[in-house]
């Protein structure tokens, strides 16, 4: 299933190896979706983003006019994508800054001296790093605005955190091992682990674990924390066949995940920012070739 | 709000696991009683496998029959369930919570791997590289985590970051003794060094530490195993 259409109609985020020069992006390009305005572009001074919800001006009082949210990320990072999705779900406006990892901006170097990684969320000059940490911050800080990402029930919240950790430590980590494997043995092992992780996640959607009925999203009737955490990997999972020669997703073994991916990509919060699978695959191939040549 | 009448809390653990101790300390902070079940990891119980089918590991907390796995998840669950009882594990303010969670992740993601590598590698270049990596991360902690006049990273009582670092307070000295080299000296890491002593003496911790002599024997055997199978 290809992701196209709306995403390709947008000013393309900066690709690999190019510096973040302002003339590559239409400055001040504004897009409207759902109840919020998303700012795509860098640099030019603009009025602070405003929140519009059905409640009208109530949220504008909660998110003060001076409230400023910035996200530093790359278009291909599953972690940065999570943060943008979370902000979109909450209906929070923000400035997205595409980083060139070969030429890191001063803002990034100042923002995350510790792990020097993306994404970084900057809220009124305050820095938050690590995607899962950022997601919980957004959910807690802006609890009064938009839907909640994490469930209200304490036990369900623990389950959500458990599966988010699982996605990172099993799916993402093993996927990377599979993608970067140097030997057949390494690749086979990582492939097995990745497929197992995917099947567990399919099982979650089927609700078979707790005798619950099938649900459209991991969060239930509406998308929530786990959906956002996993969504960062959608395009990567879809590109796995071409990148690794591994059939991660198919109608027989992972029908629910396939449905979920389609459903998720249609959501207002998602459809304008999901990366194009073709571009991602192309980028990854180039990157991998470079890494091989360096070895 | 008094929970204690309706609650049943079980902890599945193993005497040498630092993650199990993290949960014990969290329960201690809340003053919660619980049933402890020691697992033989070479022969896992049906109950453990039922409660943690995904990872089949300890610790697992079972709260009124519902299992929670993964020590970091368990600790936050404990803080949520018994909010307002005992000490605070996570701060109130969202930004401070984010900082606590960030530093809590730093330990398993960045700090522990080179320390483990250092411990399980024979003396030489590779081991020295691991030691340097560990020291670099310890320097970051020493610099970034300003204790100031606080006794603990959580303030005047043990919090999430203290719990995450916690086991290192007894593990590092043990590794140092077994290897015969120092990783943390008072000179290099005055703040961390002082914290380690305070942590081990802190009320939720001091009566909930593993048997040290047995642990040392176990660690010696582990190092020998790794050196032999390198």
User: Would the pLDDT of A23 be above 50?
Assistant: no
Give residue B134's pLDDT band: very low, low, confident or very high (50, 70, 90): very high
User: Would the pLDDT of B181 be above 60?
Assistant: yes
pLDDT of residue B148: 77
Q: Taking CB atoms and an 8 Å limit, are A155 and B68 in contact across chains?
A: yes
pLDDT of residue A6: 31
Question: Phi first, then psi: what are they for B53, rounded to 5°?
Answer: -65, -25
User: Would the pLDDT of A57 be above 70?
Assistant: no
The average confidence (pLDDT) of chain B is 94
pLDDT tens figures, B36-56: 999 999 999 999 999 999 999
Q: Taking CB atoms and an 8 Å limit, are B69 and A162 in contact across chains?
A: yes
Give residue A240's pLDDT band: very low, low, confident or very high (50, 70, 90): very high
pLDDT of residue A9: 31
Of A63-67, B79-83, B141-145, the range with the highest mean pLDDT is B79-83
Q: Which residues of A touch B110 (CB under 8 A)?
A: 115
Give the closest-approach CA distance of A74 to chain B in angstroms.
Answer: 21
Give the closest-approach CA distance of B98 to chain A in angstroms.
Answer: 6
Closest by Cα among A295, A292, A176, A294 to A240: A176
Across the A:B interface, residue pairs with CB atoms under 8 Å apart total 61
> Which DSSP letter does residue A116 get?
-
Q: Taking CB atoms and an 8 Å limit, are B80 and A157 in contact across chains?
A: yes
Q: How far is CA A171 from CA A52, A75, A163, in A?
A: 36, 20, 10
Give residue B146's pLDDT band: very low, low, confident or very high (50, 70, 90): confident
More confident residue, A108 or B100: B100
Q: Taking CB atoms and an 8 Å limit, are A158 and B72 in contact across chains?
A: no
User: Would the pLDDT of B156 be above 70?
Assistant: yes
pLDDT tens figures, A159-213: 999 999 999 999 999 999 999 998 999 999 999 999 999 999 999 998 755 556 7
Is the N-terminal amide bond of A119 cis, ω within 30° of 0? yes
Q: Taking CB atoms and an 8 Å limit, are B68 and A200 in contact across chains?
A: no
Give residue A295's pLDDT band: very low, low, confident or very high (50, 70, 90): low
Which residue in the set B73, B94, B97 is minimally distant from A158, CB to CB?
A: B73
- Please name the residue of chain B whose CA is at the shortest distance from the CA of residue A209: B53
Using CB atoms and an 8 Å cut-off, which of residues 219-248 of chain A contact chain B? Answer: none
More confident residue, A35 or B26: B26
Is the N-terminal amide bond of B59 cis, ω within 30° of 0? yes
User: Would the pLDDT of A36 be above 90?
Assistant: no
Least confident residue range of A41-45, B27-31, B43-47: A41-45
Query: Whole-angstrom Cα distance, residue B7 to residue B85?
Result: 14
Q: Taking CB atoms and an 8 Å limit, are A165 and B70 in contact across chains?
A: yes
Give the closest-approach CA distance of A142 to chain B in angstroms.
Answer: 9
Least confident residue range of A70-79, A92-101, B12-21: A92-101
More confident residue, A33 or A215: A215
pTM of the model: 0.85
- Please name the residue of chain A whose CA is at the shortest distance from the CA of residue B74: A158
Query: Whole-angstrom Cα distance, residue A227 to residue A58?
Result: 28
Q: Which residues of B touch A155 (CB under 8 A)?
A: 63, 66, 68, 77
Query: Is residue A118 a contact partner of residue A99, using CB atoms and an 8 Å limit?
Result: yes
Q: What is the rounded average pLDDT of the residues A264-285?
A: 95
User: Would the pLDDT of B83 be above 50?
Assistant: yes
Which of B52, B73, B81, B144 is the mutation pick for testing A, counting most A CBs within 10 A? B73
User: Would the pLDDT of A89 be above 60?
Assistant: yes
pLDDT tens figures, B109-132: 999 999 999 999 999 999 999 999
Contacts of B149 (CB under 8 A, 6+ apart): none
pLDDT of residue A63: 57
Closest by Cα among B65, B66, B55, B71 to B19: B71
- Please name the residue of chain A whose CA is at the shortest distance from the CA of residue B136: A114
Q: Taking CB atoms and an 8 Å limit, are A137 and B66 in contact across chains?
A: no
User: Would the pLDDT of A72 be above 50?
Assistant: yes
Q: Does B75 touch chain A (CB under 8 A)?
A: no
pLDDT of residue A293: 81
Q: Does B133 touch chain A (CB under 8 A)?
A: no
Give residue A113's pLDDT band: very low, low, confident or very high (50, 70, 90): low
């Amino acid at each position: 299933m290809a992701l196209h259409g709306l995403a390709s109609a947008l000013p393309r985020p900066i690709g690999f190896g190019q510096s973040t020069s302002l003339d590559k992006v239409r400055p001040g390009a504004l897009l409207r979706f759902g109840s919020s305005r998303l700012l795509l572009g860098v640099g030019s001074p603009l009025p602070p983003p405003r929140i519009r919800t059905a409640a009208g001006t109530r949220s504008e009082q909660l998110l003060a006019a001076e409230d400023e949210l910035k996200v530093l990320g790359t278009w291909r990072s599953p972690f940065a994508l999570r943060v943008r999705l979370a902000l979109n779900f909450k209906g929070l406006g923000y400035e997205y800054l595409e980083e060139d990892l070969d030429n890191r901006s001063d803002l990034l170097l100042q923002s995350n001296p510790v792990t020097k990684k993306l994404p970084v969320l900057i809220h009124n000059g305050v820095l938050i790093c690590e995607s899962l940490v950022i997601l919980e911050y957004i959910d807690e800080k802006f609890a009064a605005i938009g839907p909640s990402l994490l469930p209200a029930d304490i036990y369900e919240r623990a389950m959500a955190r458990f599966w988010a950790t699982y996605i990172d430590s099993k799916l993402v980590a093993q996927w990377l091992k599979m993608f970067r494997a140097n030997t057949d043995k390494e690749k086979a092992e990582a492939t097995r682990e990745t497929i197992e992780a995917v099947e567990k996640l399919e099982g979650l959607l089927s609700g078979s674990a707790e005798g619950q009925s099938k649900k459209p999203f991991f969060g239930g009737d509406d998308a929530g924390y786990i959906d956002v955490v996993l969504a960062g990997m959608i395009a990567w999972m879809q590109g796995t066949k071409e990148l690794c020669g591994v059939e991660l997703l198919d109608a027989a073994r992972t029908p629910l995940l396939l449905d979920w991916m389609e459903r998720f990509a249609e959501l207002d919060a998602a459809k304008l920012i999901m990366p194009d699978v073709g571009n991602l695959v192309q980028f990854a191939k180039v990157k991998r070739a470079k890494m091989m040549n360096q070895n | 709000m008094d929970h204690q009448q309706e609650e049943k809390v079980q902890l599945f653990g193993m005497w040498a696991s630092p993650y199990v101790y993290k949960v014990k300390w969290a329960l201690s902070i809340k003053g919660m009683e619980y049933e402890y079940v020691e697992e033989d990891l070479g022969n896992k119980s049906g109950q453990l496998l039922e409660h943690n089918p995904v990872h089949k590991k300890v610790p697992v907390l079972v709260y009124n029959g519902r299992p929670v796995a993964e020590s970091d998840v368990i600790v936050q669950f404990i803080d949520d369930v018994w909010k307002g009882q005992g000490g605070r594990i996570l701060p109130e303010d969202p930004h401070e919570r984010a900082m606590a969670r960030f530093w809590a992740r730093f330990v398993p993601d960045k700090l522990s791997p080179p320390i483990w590598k250092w411990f399980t590698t024979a003396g030489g270049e590779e081991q020295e590289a691991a030691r340097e990596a560990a020291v670099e991360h310890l320097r970051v902690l020493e610099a970034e985590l300003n204790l100031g006049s606080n006794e603990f990273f959580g303030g005047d009582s043990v919090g999430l970051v203290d719990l995450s670092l916690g086991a290192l307070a007894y593990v590092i000295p043990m590794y140092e003794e077994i290897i015969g080299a120092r990783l943390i000296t008072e000179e290099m890491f005055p703040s961390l060094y002082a914290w380690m002593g305070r942590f081990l003496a802190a009320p939720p911790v001091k009566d909930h530490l593993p048997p040290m002599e047995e642990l040392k024997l176990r660690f010696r055997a582990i190092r020998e195993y790794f050196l032999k199978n390198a």
